[in-house]
Amino acid sequence: MNEAFASRRDIDAGGAETRRIIAATEALLAASARNTPDGIESLQLKAIIHELPDFFYVKDRDSRFVFANAMVARSFGLGNDEDLAGKRDFDFFDFETARGYFEAEQEIMASGEARLDMEENVPSPAGGRSIWRLTSKLPLRNERGAVVGLIGISRDLTERKRQEDLRRGQAHLLEMIARNEPLETVLEALVLLIEAELDGISGSILMLDREGRRLYHGAAPNLPGAYSRMIDGVIIGPNVGSCGTAAWTSEPVIVEDVTVDPRWEDFRGVVAQFGFRSCWSTPILTAQNNVLGTFALYSNQVRRPTAREIELVALATHIAGIAIERKRGDERIHFMAHHDDLTGLPNRAFFKERMAKTLYHARSSGRKVTVAYLDVDNFKDINDGLGHAAGDDVLKEVASRMANGVRASDMVVRLGGDEFLVVLVHQSSHDAGIMRRLRDLQKVLLKPIQTQNQQVSVTCSIGVASFPSDGATAEELLANADRAMYRAKQLGRNTLQHHHGVCDAEIKLPVSEQEELRQAIVTDQLVLHYQPQVDVMTQQVTGVEALVRWNHPSRGLVPPNEFIPMAEESGLIIPLGLWVLNEACRQARKWQDMGLQPLRVAVNVSAKQFTDPDFARHVAEATERYDLAPRWIELELTESVLMQDAERALETMNALRPLGVRFSIDDFGSGYSSLASLKTFPFDRLKMDRSLIEALPGDKTAVAIGLAVISLAQTLKLTVVAEGVETDAQRDFLRFAKCEEAQGYRFSRPLTADQIPAFLQK
Ligand code: C2E
Ligand code: MG
Ligand code: MG
């Protein structure tokens, strides 16, 4: 034995050394197995070694195989273990791999130290996937203790490694689901995981829609996109390929050959160009066995799935089921959190969420958005009188009529109770269309509603606010629409009110009142009264101020302060002012024609009017029309008129002055009176505001200011007219201060045109 492994020649020669090593190995095994029952023959032992599921081999000092069991031979693709004798790893592996083994083995034999439980990734000598092994290599010694070779024992770890990978992948997927990652991402990772476990297989997940009718793309990272698109949205049925059929029957469908299986009849043309031959599809089920979708594997071979493939499909459908169900659950929760139970309409939370997006788009596209706040009139009476069930019926019906009455781009929301919102995105710049649609909605709700045991009729009040004029955010629009709705209620039921502009918070007049005023202008509901202005010394009438009133059919004579601001805000001041101007001219002409002394008529002009480019022309035309010398017309401007657009104001004044038209500054001393404007603009007269006169002559400050204003006016060659003179004391002070003219109740209240001739007679 001491000559064992003597030379290569010996092994090659006849195997005497080999036999000796085998004998030695067997003896060693026998010796190490202390509990081996007596009588076991070495031959038997050899047979057992061949039966081992592990790899077992012995190599000589040159790392040549001396003995190997059947497992080793099979792994090298050899039928007979004898064929291995004398071969080295260099004969089977690529050079680098073989050298790695060789050097490690030489090291073991040189040092005499075993290496145990090494995890090795071994390239498959037959090609294909690499193999994982757990390997131990021990030095083989003779009786004298000299190392004569080595013993190798390996166990195939590939399956265990795969299982581990799979478990890790599965854990990762479950984590993704728990983290609520997008469903598409989870499903795609799932398909990739399964595909990584298999060779030549592509996976696909399809999802069934809520109606249980069509299958839609879920994930198919390695199927041709063209194929996925072609089957996207397929209607399921008893013979709709593998997936459509599996979803229809709730059973796995194994098609070994798509070119002959009758279930693929209609899809053969589609599939032919992609080269698939077999397709095995399994339904993805909920815990209650409802179909959520399908998981399918495609192969290019005509065959049935292997046991392993079936096992992987089971795992995949299980995880896909969890992922899809979880998503549906989330969607359901989201829906419930954003929708109202009774009517199924979106709720306030949904409104806020959606409005942010709607307003964002409206802003970037320059579109308007109208929010209508709708409240059912007297709903409490229905609830109290007919019971809550009837009340619920009414709300449901109102909700469904509204939802059916709007476009897909619009939104109907139930805020709670009997309060609803309609959000309309304007398609054009015409607001008229929107208002008509809202009124139509109001009309639709008027039709009787059938409750369980009786018919009821309801009306509703609507408040409207529009983006961007009535608010920039969902909250602002909601608040303003609510306010407008509240006014609608106050004005009676079944009405619609519009919130007005953010800039004039205190004036929120209903659309109908604006409409009314518009009508009033054309139907002669307006009337002018005239307040005389007198010479303080002689009490002779020097002129009159025209003051407009609205002879309202139900409200009676409405003073200007109640509708001029609205007219200014809505733009109606232009036609209104034009009417006043013409009426004043007509009346002045009439008085002159009656033979009265010619009277200067003062007309009040608003800022919007005065900055209208056509204003100067309007004045010229009006005086011409009534053949009135323009010097009989005086235009009263306030400082705010001048401040709006000083340049344009000066232009207009300069255009009118040559005609002889006069100008007075009205309400001087009531606000931010500035000396500058008196110097800049060509005024003829200064009207000292009533608030200054009021405190005269008792208040020392008022006296001082009054005197200052009068002397200032005289320096600038302006005639001073004191406004709102009510008492003799005030008149006496004005005489003393050399104020030329006055206007006020002390002399006369505003009179009708007919009263003027008599007043002049006095
Ligand atoms: P204003 O131009 O300062 O007109 C004088 C206002 O003082 C008138 O009120 C007049 O009735 C009132 N008044 C006159 N004397 C006295 C008095 O002794 N005591 C008191 N307490 N009040 C007196 P009215 O007619 O209600 O007009 C209010 C304002 O409406 C006017 O103030 C003017 O700013 C505006 N307004 C009137 N008519 C027109 C118009 O045709 N166009 C425009 N743009 N504004 C007008
Ligand atoms: Mg005035
Ligand atoms: Mg005034």
Does 547 contact ligand 1 (Cβ within 6 A)?
yes
**What letter does residue 236 receive in the DSSP assignment?**
P
* pLDDT tens sequence across 409-463: 889 999 988 999 999 988 765 666 788 888 888 888 888 898 887 888 888 999 9
Question: What is the pLDDT, as a whole number, of residue 1?
Answer: 34
745 CA: nearest ligand 1 atom: 18
Residues 6+ apart with CB under 8 A from 160: 132
User: What is the predicted pLDDT for the residue at 617?
Assistant: 92
Tell me the residue length of the chain: 762
In this structure, the residue with its CA closest to atom 35 of ligand 1 is 560
Q: What is the best residue among 544, 547, 615 to mutate for testing ligand 1's pocket, by most ligand atoms within 8 Å of CB?
A: 547
638 Cα to the center of ligand 2, angstroms: 8
Q: Is the Cβ atom of 724 under 6 angstroms away from ligand 1?
A: yes
For residue 280, count CB atoms less than 10 angstroms from its CB and return exposed for 0-12, middle for 13-18, buried for 19 or more.
Answer: buried
The per-residue pLDDT for 662 is 96
Specify the pLDDT at position 34: 43
Residues forming beta bridges with residue 253, ordered by sequence position: 281
CB 122 within 8 A of CB 132: yes
CB of 562 shorter than 6 A to ligand 1? no
CA of 622 to the centre of ligand 1 (A): 22
The response to whether residue 564 sits with its C-beta less than 6 Å from ligand 1 reads yes
Domains of the chain: 2-156 (3.30.450.20), 162-336 (3.30.450.40), 348-498 (3.30.70.270), 511-761 (3.20.20.450)
The pLDDT mean for the chain works out to 86
SS3 544: strand
Q: Is 1 exposed, middle or buried (0-12, 13-18, 19+ CB in 10 A)?
A: middle
**How far is the centre of ligand 2, averaged over its atoms, from the C-alpha of 580 (Å)?**
13
Cβ–ligand 1 distance for 283 under 6 Å, the answer: no
Closest Cα to atom 13 of ligand 1: 724
pLDDT digits 0-9 by tens, 728-758 = 999 999 999 999 999 999 999 999 999 999 9
CA 658 to centroid of ligand 2, rounded, Å: 23
547 CA distance to ligand 1 middle (Å)? 6
Average pLDDT over residues 127-140: 85
Instruction: Render pLDDT for 534-585 as a digit per residue (tens, 0 to 9).
Output: 999 999 999 999 999 999 888 889 999 889 988 887 788 988 999 999 999 9
Question: What ligand is nearest to the CA atom of residue 561?
Answer: 1
pLDDT digits (tens, 9 = 90+) for 337-379: 888 888 989 998 889 888 988 998 888 888 889 999 999 988 8
Atom nearest to 687 CA in ligand 1: 3
Over residues 491-509, the pLDDT tens digits come to 777 778 888 643 333 344 4
CB 420 within 8 A of CB 348: no
- Beta carbon of 559 within 6 Å of any ligand 1 atom: yes
User: How much is the pLDDT for 12?
Assistant: 38
pLDDT in the model for residue 204: 96
Backbone angles phi, psi at 425, to 5 degrees: -95, 125
Distance of CA 649 to the CA centre of its chain: 47
Q: Model-level pTM?
A: 0.46
